[in-house]
């Protein structure tokens, strides 16, 4: 623990050099706020004050039996961590330092240390988002006005980088995919999906060619996530590409590069957050209510996350793509039975900021859910 302001300044500067994402301030004994404030002011990262007692209670009998007053003072200070916390909190409030506090015991307090672990996970995901490269390919659908996003606001909230991509480039990359690579990727489809018998081999090959091209596009721009939509009208190559994209995007989503359809940037960000927590995520929307069974039916067009599917994800042919031209293969799946978390990134234009909207629920199984054909 730094004991003088000079050491505090040095510690804060070191934290900045090391690029720390979160500071846990463990108040082990009485500490002056003047030796704490310079550290967090220099670091400029979230602070969690750990107000942790050494145990459940002081052993008053043993303490009072001590003959050495200096030793008694030392023992008393070991239990004195709660004393400076209000002082530090007061100073942080008055100087505009945002902080959180965890109160509990240093040992034998599972609830306390679970909260610490949650903060560590949150900081790790914030780091992921701060360095994520989000690709945006295509354009918005002109009918759904709620999808339009302020990309600069995304930068302000999460950091990272947004790369604007052309479908034309993906189509050009697609032409360089070899027949051998196509055959290998078709084999991957059969391993990872339950390919229905009515899927034409030619459609599997088209999807495989696009899937390999997607991997190359992701590698070229070092993408960690992507949002896309494209009608494909008036350009045969782009129509061929965009109508064969879903299987490849489903594989990317399961491979920690979540992809959201409809050019839904906010949803792509939410999916990346969920992926950062190791939960996985798939573009989902409410589409019907069942008051009889007290459930909400959910699903969506677009890539599915095979890692959160109940059983294997099925591949089946479509004659018409909803909202796009052409035909091709799509996926359908049910979500794993059990608890689920719903996360949305929501714009608040009046306040000039984003918010996270979270809900929890449970998938009850086939009696309480409906399969939705993913396009």
Extract the tokens encoding 233. Answer: 């009208």
Angstrom distances, CA of residue 30 to CA of 42, 56, 89, 282, 331: 22, 18, 14, 48, 60
End-to-end CA distance of the chain: 57
- Kindly state the percentage of the chain with pLDDT values over 90: 61
59: number of Cβ within 10 Å: 11
pLDDT at 97: 93
Return the domain boundaries, the chain.
5-124, 131-373
CA angle (194, 200, 204) in 5-degree steps: 65
pLDDT at 284: 86
pLDDT at 233: 78
Residue 371 banded pLDDT, cuts 50, 70, 90: very low
Cβ atoms of 374 and 302 within 8 Å: the answer is yes
Cβ atoms of 285 and 252 within 8 Å: the answer is no
For residue 292, the 8-state DSSP code is: T
pLDDT for 320-334, tens place per residue? 655 555 578 989 888
Residue 367 banded pLDDT, cuts 50, 70, 90: very low
Half-sphere exposure (Cβ direction) of 34: Cα atoms closer than 13 Å: 4
Q: Residue 83, Cα to own-chain centre: how many angstroms?
A: 37
Residue 124 banded pLDDT, cuts 50, 70, 90: very high
Q: Which bin fits 200, alpha (ψ -120 to 50), beta or left (φ > 0)? A: beta
Residues whose CB is less than 8 angstroms from the CB of residue 351 and which lie 6 or more positions away in sequence, other chains included: none
**What gap in Å lies between CA 65 and CA 13, rounded to an integer?**
44
161: number of Cβ within 10 Å: 15
Give the residue from 283, 228, 275 showing the smallest Cα distance to 256.
275
Q: What is the mean pLDDT of residues 49-58?
A: 90
Cβ atoms of 352 and 369 within 8 Å: the answer is no
Residues whose CB is less than 8 angstroms from the CB of residue 76 and which lie 6 or more positions away in sequence, other chains included: 63
Residues whose CB is less than 8 angstroms from the CB of residue 332 and which lie 6 or more positions away in sequence, other chains included: 304, 313, 314, 316, 371, 372, 373, 374
pLDDT at 325: 53
Extract the tokens encoding 191. Answer: 């391993």
Give the residue from 136, 175, 143 showing the smallest Cα distance to 324.
143
pLDDT at 297: 86
pLDDT for 162-204, tens place per residue? 999 999 999 999 999 999 999 999 999 999 999 999 999 999 9
Query: Is the predicted pLDDT of residue 370 greater than 50, yes or no?
Result: no
pLDDT for 127-162, tens place per residue? 999 999 999 999 998 888 889 999 999 999 999 999
pLDDT at 82: 85
What's the pTM value of the predicted model, to 2 decimals? Answer: 0.88
CATH 3.40.190.10: does it fit domain 5-124? Answer: no
Lowest mean pLDDT among 71-80, 110-119, 147-156, 237-246: 71-80
Query: Is the predicted pLDDT of residue 28 greater than 80, yes or no?
Result: yes
pLDDT at 31: 81
**What gap in Å lies between CA 200 and CA 20, rounded to an integer?**
52
Query: Is the predicted pLDDT of residue 212 greater than 50, yes or no?
Result: yes
- Kindly state the percentage of the chain with pLDDT values over 70: 94
pLDDT at 32: 85
Extract the tokens encoding 71. Answer: 């030793």
pLDDT for 258-292, tens place per residue? 999 999 999 999 999 999 999 988 888 888 899 99
């Amino acid at each position: 623990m730094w004991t003088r302001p000079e050491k505090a300044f040095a510690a804060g500067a070191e934290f900045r050099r090391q690029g720390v994402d979160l500071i846990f301030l463990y108040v082990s004994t009485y500490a002056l706020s003047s030796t704490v404030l310079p550290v967090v002011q220099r670091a400029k990262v979230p602070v969690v004050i750990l107000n942790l007692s050494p145990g459940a209670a002081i052993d008053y009998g043993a303490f009072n039996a001590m003959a050495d007053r200096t030793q008694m003072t030392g023992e008393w200070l070991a239990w004195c961590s709660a004393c400076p916390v209000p002082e530090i909190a007061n100073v942080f409030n008055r100087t505009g330092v945002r902080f959180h506090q965890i109160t509990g015991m240093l040992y034998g307090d599972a609830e306390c240390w679970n909260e610490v672990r949650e903060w560590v996970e949150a900081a790790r995901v914030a780091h992921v988002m701060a360095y994520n490269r989000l690709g945006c390919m295509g354009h918005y659908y002109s009918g759904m006005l709620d999808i339009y996003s302020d990309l600069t606001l995304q930068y302000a909230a999460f950091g990272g980088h947004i790369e604007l991509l052309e479908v034309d480039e993906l189509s050009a990359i697609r032409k360089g995919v070899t027949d051998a690579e196509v055959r290998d990727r078709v084999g991957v489809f059969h391993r990872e999906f339950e390919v229905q018998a009515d899927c034409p081999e030619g459609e599997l090959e088209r999807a495989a060619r696009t899937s390999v091209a997607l991997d190359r596009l992701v590698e070229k721009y070092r993408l960690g996530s992507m949002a896309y939509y494209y009608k494909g009208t008036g350009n045969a190559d782009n129509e061929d590409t965009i109508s064969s994209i879903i299987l490849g995007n489903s594989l990317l989503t399961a491979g920690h590069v979540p992809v959201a359809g409809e050019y839904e940037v906010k949803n792509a960000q939410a999916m990346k957050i969920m992926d950062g927590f190791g939960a996985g995520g798939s573009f989902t929307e409410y589409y019907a209510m069942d008051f009889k069974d007290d459930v909400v039916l959910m699903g969506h067009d677009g890539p599915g996350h095979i890692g959160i599917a109940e059983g294997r994800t099925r591949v089946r042919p479509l004659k018409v793509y909803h909202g796009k031209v052409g035909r091709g293969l799509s996926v359908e799946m049910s979500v794993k039975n059990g608890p689920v978390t719903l996360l949305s990134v929501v714009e608040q234009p009046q306040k000039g900021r984003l918010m996270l909207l979270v809900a929890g629920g449970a998938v009850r199984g086939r009696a309480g859910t409906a399969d939705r054909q993913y396009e």
